[in-house]
Amino acid sequence: MNAPAATASIVRRAVTALAPLRDTLLGFALPQRCPACGAPAADGVLCEACRGRVPRLSVPLCARCLLAGRDPSGCARHASHRVVAPWLYDESAAAVVHALKYGGRPALARRLGAEMAAVVPAAWRPDLVLAVPLHAARERERGYNQAALLADALAEAMAVPRLERGLARVRATPPQANLGERDRRANVAGAFAAVHPAALAGRRVLVVDDVMTTGATLSACLDALADAGARGSGVALAWTP
């Protein structure tokens, strides 16, 4: 890496690291604004009106059945591919996700850990929490991995260890948002692998993402965990039906 690129990388990391302090200081000076409507938000995420409108997901889903185009609710066959989410993806949820990923508000993730932890069944309580990894080039471009920030917050809310590098993205993939359903499946098939399989074998592992749509990404991550001998399940902030 040349000197200007190295300097830019250091600056991005420093800005990301200081974001929580910045948001805390701004919280004292200014009311936190709802990313959906701009009204003051007491918890810094959504105002009371927008939060009340976000539809809730009431049952666990099966990422494998969702990926195959079958009804993902109530599946009893694929215990290693179960996923929960507190929200269904609507305009308010989309505003939060956009602010977290692209709006320079990574500290939002810290306030969403309890929201996600509340929907994880007690029987799924993990030994470890890990995040869906971004490819290194995309993480450098953005400055952080939003799924990793959510995983940190969820691990803290559940008081369980967070494994920093449990999974690796072994090949770069185009953004899922730009692909159709069939292409999403092919895009991430085999894209993930366990970094240290022996550390995961026999452990209950919860893998975290921001949004689940077709189930392709989480299903691929859960496949990798199963290959490593882990008992995996997933949690996303929101599901797009």
Domains of the chain by residue range: 55-239
In sign, the C-alpha dihedral spanning 132, 138, 140, 141 is negative
Q: How far apart are CA 226 and CA 11, in angstroms?
A: 38
Indicate the average pLDDT of the chain: 84
pLDDT of residue 24: 46
Fold of 55-239: Rossmann fold (3.40.50)
Per the model's pLDDT, the better-predicted residue between 163 and 137 turns out to be 163
pTM: 0.81
Most confident range (mean pLDDT) of 7-16, 17-26, 103-112, 199-208 is: 199-208
Residue 26 has pLDDT above 50, yes or no: no
How large is the greatest C-alpha to C-alpha distance in the chain, in angstroms?
54
Instruction: Read off the amino acid at residue 241.
Output: P
Angle between helices 181-188 and 216-227 (to 10 degrees): 30
pLDDT digits (tens, 9 = 90+) for 141-150: 878 899 999 9
Q: Are strands 231-239 and 87-88 parallel, antiparallel or unpaired?
A: parallel
Per the model's pLDDT, the better-predicted residue between 142 and 130 turns out to be 130
pLDDT of residue 29: 39
Per the model's pLDDT, the better-predicted residue between 127 and 216 turns out to be 127
Per the model's pLDDT, the better-predicted residue between 188 and 21 turns out to be 188
pLDDT of residue 195: 93
Per-residue pLDDT averaged across 59-71, rounded? 92
Per the model's pLDDT, the better-predicted residue between 76 and 221 turns out to be 221
Q: 77 and 119 in contact (C-beta within 8 Å)? A: no
Q: 176 and 182 in contact (C-beta within 8 Å)? A: no
Q: How far apart are CA 223 and CA 80, in angstroms?
A: 8
Cα atoms in the Cβ-side hemisphere of radius 13 Å centred on 137: 6
- Token representation of residue 101: 């990923």
Q: 209 and 236 in contact (C-beta within 8 Å)? A: yes
Per-residue pLDDT averaged across 98-117, rounded? 90
Look at residue 238 and give its three-state secondary structure: strand
pLDDT digits (tens, 9 = 90+) for 156-194: 999 999 999 899 887 666 565 566 656 666 667 778 899
- Token representation of residue 29: 């000076």
The position carrying tokens 């809310």 is 157
- Indicate the pLDDT class of residue 239, thresholds 50, 70 and 90: very high
pLDDT digits (tens, 9 = 90+) for 29-57: 345 789 999 999 877 789 999 999 999 99
Instruction: Read off the amino acid at residue 112.
Output: L
- Calculate Rg over the CA atoms of the chain: 18
Cα atoms in the Cβ-side hemisphere of radius 13 Å centred on 66: 24
